[in-house]
């Protein structure tokens, strides 16, 4: 039986090569959704238009800054999938808590909440 010693390296390459595309796709989808909302409000203004525009204006700046935190989450997940970091619910939870705290300190009211 032949042993494949390069398999962990192949997993790392696949994990590291796929996350930028998934991250960028999600960011572009959020921006496209916000743009569609603005265009819909411009086409048919309503009394609620000011509130809707305020919501879009609140979300757009946070998307750019929050991208760094999404990137950190994707890198952590890629490292776990590649076997560079041990699969552990406790370690994953600790990483997420630290990242959420940093995200709340950085983004303030624009931080995502669950």
Domain map (residue ranges) of the chain: 14-110
CA count, 13 A, side-chain hemisphere, 84:
13
User: Could you report how far apart the first and last alpha carbons of the chain are, in Å?
Assistant: 48
Q: What is the pLDDT of residues 71-107, one digit of tens each?
A: 888 888 888 888 888 999 999 999 999 998 888 888 7
Residue 104 near residue 65, CB atoms below 8 Å: no
What's the pLDDT band for 114 if we cut at 50, 70, 90? Answer: low
């Amino acid at each position: 039986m032949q042993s494949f010693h390069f398999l962990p390296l192949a997993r790392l390459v696949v994990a590291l090569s796929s996350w930028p595309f998934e991250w960028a796709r999600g960011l572009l989808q959020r921006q496209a959704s916000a743009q569609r909302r603005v265009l819909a409000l411009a086409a048919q203004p309503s009394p609620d238009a000011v509130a809707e525009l305020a919501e879009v204006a609140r979300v757009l700046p946070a998307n750019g800054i929050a991208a760094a935190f999404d990137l950190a989450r994707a890198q952590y997940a890629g490292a776990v999938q590649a076997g560079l970091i041990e699969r552990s619910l406790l370690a994953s939870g600790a990483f997420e808590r630290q990242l959420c705290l940093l995200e709340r300190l950085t983004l303030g009211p624009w931080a995502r909440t669950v």
